[in-house]
Amino acid sequence: MTTWVDGAAGSLFDIDNLPYGVFSRPGEEPRVGVRIGDLVLDLSPVAAAEMLDVHHVFQERSLNALMAEGRLVRESVRRWVTGLLSDGTERDLVEPHLVPLADVTLHLPVEVGDYVDFYASLDHATNVGRIFRPDGEPLLPNWRHLPVGYHGRSGTVVGSGTPVTRPQGQRKSPTDDTPTFGPSTRLDIEAELGFVVGTPSSIGEPVSYDDFADHVFGVVGLNDWSARDIQAWEYVPLGPFLGKSFATSVSRWVTPLEALDAAWVDVPGQDPTPLPYLRPGTGAGPARGLDIGVEVVLNGAVVSRPPYRTMYWSPAQLLAHLTVNGASVRTGDLYASGTISGPEAGQRGSFLELSWGGTEPFADGRTFLEDGDEVVLRYTAPGTAGGRIALGEVTGRVEPARE
Asked if residue 224 binds Mn ion (CB under 5 A), the reply is yes
Count of beta carbons in the 10 Å neighbourhood of residue 374 = 14
**Of 158, 356, 121, which is closest to residue 250 (Cα–Cα)?**
158
Give me the least distance between CB of 337 and Mn ion, in Å please: 8
Binding to Mn ion (CB under 5 A): which residues in 249-288?
Answer: none
How many chain residues bind Mn ion (CB under 5 A)? 3
Beta bridge partners of 391: none
Handedness of CA 61, 63, 68, 74 (dihedral sign): positive
Q: Which is nearer to Mn ion, 69 or 234 (CB)?
A: 234
* Spatial CB neighbours of 67, under 8 Å, sequence gap ≥ 6: 74, 110, 196, 197, 198, 199, 217, 218, 331, 332
Select 62 or 339, whichever has its Cβ closest to Mn ion: 339
| Interaction between residue 190 and Mn ion (CB under 5 A) | yes
Smallest distance, Å, CB 234 to Mn ion?
15
The CB-nearest residue to Mn ion is 224
| Residue-wise DSSP of 148-216 | -EEE--GGGEEETT--EEPPEEEE--TT-SS-EEEE-SSEE--EEEEEEE-S---TT-PPPGGGHHHHE
By C-beta, is 80 or 241 nearer to Mn ion?
241
**Which of the stretches 13-21, 185-193, 205-213, 286-294 binds Mn ion when contact is defined by CB under 5 A?**
185-193
Nearest approach, Cβ of 152 to Mn ion (angstroms)?
8
Closest to Mn ion by CB, 58 vs 118, is 118
* Region binding Mn ion by CB under 5 A among candidate stretches 10-18, 61-69, 109-117, 212-220: 109-117
Q: Is 373 exposed, middle or buried (0-12, 13-18, 19+ CB in 10 A)?
A: middle
Residue 234 engages Mn ion in binding (rule: CB under 5 A)? no
- Positions marked active-site: 124
Minimum gap (Å) between residue 366 Cβ and Mn ion: 20
Task: Look at residue 115 and give its three-state secondary structure.
Answer: strand
**Which of 14, 16, 42, 117 lies at the binding interface for Mn ion (CB under 5 A)?**
117
User: Which residues are CB-neighbours of 128 under 8 A, at least 6 positions away?
Assistant: 138, 352, 353
Counting contacts by CB under 5 A, is residue 353 touching Mn ion? Answer: no
> Within its chain, how far is the Cα of 393 from the centroid?
9
Interaction between residue 333 and Mn ion (CB under 5 A): no
Q: What is the DSSP letter of 32?
A: E
Nearer residue to Mn ion within complex by CB, 349 or 382: 349
Instruction: Report how far residue 252's alpha carbon sits from residue 275's, in angstroms, rounded to the nearest whole number.
Output: 36
Q: Near Mn ion by CB under 5 A, which window of 2-10, 217-225, 289-297, 347-355? A: 217-225
- Whole-number minimum distance, CB 335 to Mn ion, in Å? 11
Nearest Cα to Cα of residue 114 among 299, 338, 335, 271: 335
Pattern 287-316, binding to Mn ion, x per CB under 5 A?
A: ------------------------------
Q: Would you state the torsion angle of the CA atoms of residues 22, 242, 350, 236, taken in this order, to the nearest 10 degrees?
A: -140
Nearer to Mn ion, 128 or 259 (CB): 128
CB of 340 to Mn ion, least distance (A): 10
Interface with Mn ion by CB under 5 A: which range of 29-37, 69-77, 218-226, 359-367? 218-226
Q: Footprint of Mn ion on this chain (CB under 5 A)?
A: 117, 190, 224
